[in-house]
Chain A
């Protein structure tokens, strides 16, 4: 069965420090990969996605994720964290059947 693992439940970083949120998945077929962000007391918003083509995808607010098929990973990175990035981040995977398999989420904590 397919699964998504976000090993870190919380990631604390200092403001302006680099961020890496890890996501690994297990699947034997081609996948589509997503990162969502949830700010406190809000719904989930799509941050970025990999469907095909370039394995490095970017969001409008400076986050990137790279699809590494050999490592079955889709880690989310940002070179410099801002206070406004504090939120919970969810990784999700689809095998093309309109179902998403979700990771447990990683809470990004920004320290001043």
Chain B
């Protein structure tokens, strides 16, 4: 157990509203990631962070922003949610020098 929690676990929101998802870790890992998972697409990286205030884009970053003001928290924001952002969102951390990633339980987001 890598001590990763995500909140909320489920959310339904309307098109055009802002949404923030939170990932919290308890073990001070440097690397954190946000993925989305959709049927037929596997896992796609949205954004990742390699330290406090250090973030970079992944392959599907359009429409998403992130922030990391503390080591333990990595926030994903949908500035104006669209139906195409309906998905399951996973947060992950990477253990230094080990390269594998450990995942949180996921957030199911529905945009109506």
- Interface of B, secondary structure class, is strand
A90 to B48, CA, bound (A): 20
Q: Assuming A43-B103, A94-B99, is B90 touching A99 (CB within 8 A)?
A: no
Q: At the interface, yes or no: B45 with Cβ under 8 Å from chain A?
A: yes
B43 A98 Cβ-Cβ under 8 A? no
CA distance in complex: A46, B94 (Å): 12
Residues A46 and B102 in contact, CB atoms below 8 Å apart: yes
* Residue ranges of B at the interface with A (Cβ–Cβ < 8 Å): 31, 40-45, 48, 50, 90, 92, 94, 98-106
User: Ordered nearest first, which 5 A-B pairs have the shortest CB separation?
Assistant: A43-B103, A104-B42, A94-B99, A44-B103, A102-B43
Pairs A–B under 8 Å by Cβ, sample size 21: A34-B100, A42-B106, A43-B90, A43-B103, A43-B105, A43-B106, A44-B43, A44-B90, A45-B103, A46-B100, A46-B101, A49-B100, A51-B98, A51-B99, A90-B43, A96-B99, A98-B31, A100-B101, A104-B41, A104-B42, A105-B42
